[in-house]
Amino acid sequence: MEGKKIRRIALLTSGGDAPGMNAAIRSVVRTAIYNDIQVLGIRRGYNGLIKNDFFPMDSRSVNKITAQGGTMLYTARCAEFQTPEGLQRAADNCKYLGIEGLVCIGGDGTFRGAQALSEYGVQVVGIPATIDNDIACTHYSIGFDTAANTAIDAIDKLSDTMQSHERISVVEVMGRHAGHLALYVGLSVGAAVTLIPEEPYDMQRDIIDVIREGRIHGRNHSIVIVAEGVGNTNEIVKTIEAETGVETRLTVIGHIQRGGSPSARDRVMGTRMGHYAVEALMQGQNNVIVCYRDSQLCTVDCTEALSMKKKLDGYMYRVGKEVAI
Ligand code: ATP
């Protein structure tokens, strides 16, 4: 299984944080140490790589982090890394520190950075982590399950009180460019309507008529889920209230969705993907992303992965509509 013997690797988390990143960090560190590979933790994503902000990690430095949300390595965005000078500095630092492989945990932007760095001679492997689950090459990204459960928990609580007052709840969930999270949450809470950036909607037909029809059939509380990327949520709320005559309240769940103790799924996926990433480096794989496809882990070439576009689950969208009557 092994390619050349690697003696030292580094790892970083970059872009938006996601619950389960810590499980991946722990797994990378422990798998590396198990295989006699030293590990350097890089703080604050690519910023740390440029600024040489690192520390040696051992088995004990990742004790008990699996249960914690966020990332113990911190995360940041780094504009300088997108310049040839920044990339060169990062590559020079890797060489100076004897880093023979780099694990980058994050989303599409993080992988674009990893790909760029590999062109400067650094061996890289990516691990997908984003609550949006919008990375095309993989069916699952670390953080999605916890974020969905956090949103569901909040909406269930909200529903209890909204139902007592027979109000309409409009709930904005995260998802600037993708509706996977909103769709999943909408199905889970029995939303009357779910609006996502990928699907245009007609205010009267897709929202007002559906809510009215529901009330006629005895639904005294309707939930409307809106993905952040749909925009103008305030307008949607005002129009619903004006057209239905029912008190309508907006709740923006916001960054709460990013936090919290990771679910079992995110802990296990983080651990499995971290292990797989180190083995991929040991095999000499470069410029690849660890992916979960058809219930199995695999690696996908980064360039190919970044050219893919993730399609919305059209069937799930249809199910949501058909069971909302
Ligand atoms: P999320 O979507 O969850 O926020 P992400 O990984 O997509 O995660 P980004 O902010 O898009 O987050 O990217 C993280 C970092 O990756 C950027 O701040 C930048 O340092 C680096 N990066 C992004 N695109 C490139 C690129 N084309 N070349 C070099 N580096 C890049």
Residue range 94-141, pLDDT digits in tens: 999 999 999 999 999 999 999 999 999 999 999 999 999 999 999 999
CB 115, CB 124: distance < 8 Å: yes
Rounded to an integer, what distance in angstroms lies between the CA atom of residue 21 and that of residue 277? Answer: 13
CB 261, CB 255: distance < 8 Å: no
* Probe residue for ligand 1, chosen from 14, 43, 134, 289 as the CB with the greatest number of ligand atoms within 8 Å: 14
Residues 139-160: what's their mean pLDDT?
96
For the stretch 212-221, pLDDT in tens is 999 888 888 8
Q: What's the 187 CA to ligand 1 centre distance in angstroms?
A: 30
CB 45, CB 126: distance < 8 Å: no
Residues 181-197: what's their mean pLDDT?
95
* Closest ligand 1 atom number to CA of residue 76: 18
Residue 41, Cβ neighbours under 10 Å: how many?
22
Q: Where are the beta strands (DSSP E) in 93-159?
A: 101-106, 124-128
pLDDT > 90? residue 20: yes
DSSP code for 257: G
Res. 325 pLDDT band, cuts 50 70 90: confident
| Catalytic sites, residue numbers | 132
State which amino acid sits at residue 219: R
Residues 290-301: what's their mean pLDDT?
97
Enter the pTM of the model. 0.95
CB 291, CB 108: distance < 8 Å: no
Alpha-carbon distance values, 33 to 26, 56, 278 (Å): 11, 12, 10
Structure tokens at 203: 């205010």
Q: What's the 57 CA to ligand 1 centre distance in angstroms?
A: 24
Q: What's the 77 CA to ligand 1 centre distance in angstroms?
A: 7
Structure tokens at 248: 């309508």
Residues 229-257: what's their mean pLDDT?
94
Q: Tell me the pairing of strands 38-42 and 54-57.
A: antiparallel
C-beta pairs of 216-220 under 8 Å, 24+ apart in sequence: 217/325, 219/192, 220/163, 220/166
pLDDT > 80? residue 1: no
With residue 224 as reference, give the H or E element that holds it: strand 222-227
Q: Tell me the pairing of strands 124-128 and 101-106.
A: parallel
Decide whether any atom of ligand 1 lies within 6 Å of the 108 Cβ: yes
* Probe residue for ligand 1, chosen from 47, 50, 104, 112 as the CB with the greatest number of ligand atoms within 8 Å: 112
Residue nearest to atom 24 of ligand 1 (CA): 109
pLDDT of residue 72: 98
pLDDT of residue 165: 84
Higher pLDDT, 146 or 219: 146
CA 307 to chain centre: 18
Decide whether any atom of ligand 1 lies within 6 Å of the 77 Cβ: yes
Q: Tell me the pairing of strands 296-301 and 288-293.
A: antiparallel
Cross-strand bridge partners of residue 10: 40, 102
Residues 190-208: what's their mean pLDDT?
94
In the block, which residue shows the tokens 């480096």? 281
pLDDT > 70? residue 2: no
CA 293 to chain centre: 16
